[in-house]
Amino acid sequence: MKLTKKAEYAIKAMVALGRNPHGRLTIYSIAAAQKIPKKFLEQILLALKAAGLVTSQAGPHGGYQLARPAANISLGDILQAVNEPLARGYIRPGRRSGVASPLENVLAEIRQCLSQRIHAVSLAELTAQETTPEQVEELMWYI
């Protein structure tokens, strides 16, 4: 499974903000450091703000910062903020007959396990490790 670019960029932006817990970062500085298109990053940060994960301040000393400690933000929170389906633990209902096939049951269990793991990983864990933007891109192939 592969995450969307929106999810990948949201993780990169949040890792950057998590590494800067006492100050604000501008959209420009995040976009340049993480190689994210500025206009796309604006949309992502608005979604993260609407989800209560970041706050913003306008003005010459403005920018974005985490709304709560990185330890209290999960990878699942970030993915849900940008509407990544993997974060929801979506379980596809059975066929119209109401009976799911054995394969459908196994896939539903896998999705549930993936969702639980995504919600168990905190932003603090991601920022404590020296996670590079390239490693985040590589991670997207394993999820």
pLDDT band at 27 (very low <50, low <70, confident <90, very high): very high
Higher pLDDT, 16 or 99: 16
Cβ distance 4 to 137 under 8 Å?
A: no
Q: What is the pLDDT of residue 139?
A: 59
Question: Are residues 69 and 53 in contact, defined by beta-carbon separation less than 8 angstroms?
Answer: no
3-state class of 75 per DSSP?
Answer: helix
Per-residue confidence (pLDDT) for residue 142, from 0 to 100: 52
pTM: 0.80
Dihedrals phi, psi of 64, to nearest 5 degrees: -115, 150
Work out the average pLDDT over 89-113: 72
Q: Tell me the domains of the chain and their CATH numbers.
A: 5-87+123-137 (1.10.10.10)
Give the model's pLDDT for residue 60: 86
Residue 75 burial class via C-beta count within 10 angstroms: exposed 0-12, middle 13-18, buried 19 and up = buried
pLDDT of 30: 96
Q: Residue 111: is its pLDDT beyond 80?
A: yes
Q: Is the pLDDT of residue 25 over 70?
A: yes
Cα dihedral 68, 73, 141, 7 sign? negative
